Amino acid sequence: MLYGYYDSPFGLCLIATTKNKLCNLYFLDASDKTAGLDLLRSEWPDADIAETSAITTLGDRLFNGTPPDPSTFSLHLQGTDFQTQVWQALLNIPFGQTVTYQELAQSIGRPTAARAVGNAVGRNPISFLIPCHRVIRSSGKLGGYRWGFPCKTALLNWEQNYSQNG
């Protein structure tokens, strides 16, 4: 497994790949890079992990100022069947739009599983590309975000501005 750090418009990221497949994208506190690496190691305990500057090329593809097309990236998702079903459903949320946890649960045929869907959304390993930031509470409030409220707000604002202004 290879990883590297990338300065995105939304903050510092740790990006990781397995055999040229994107497996993780975490937003980090720039003052504590080791937290991201510790998280990566905990999620891939048996992996040989090495840092590479080649991640910059992947970061440039992801954060080039236009919405990335997830179908142009090879992904390596590691999770339960339910989690991967939720993560796949996240990919169907249109750019610049939001859905509620309840709506997401309904979209996968599990209308009473909004809380479980929320847990799976929170475990999304590839932030930004798999747009977990587009899921909000039924009240219309943004709700939590694994990488912090300011990051979620910045992502949603960028999508809204891009959708309106191109």
Active site residues: 132
CA 159, CA 166: separation in Å to the nearest integer? 10
The CA-atom distances, in angstroms, between 36 and each of 4, 42, 54, 116, 130 are 10, 10, 18, 24, 18
> What angle, 0 to 180 degrees and rounded to 10, lies between the N-to-C axes of helices 114-122 and 81-90?
80
Contact call for residues 89 and 121 (beta carbons, < 8 A): no
For 146, what's the count of Cα atoms within 13 Å in the CB-facing half-sphere? Answer: 22
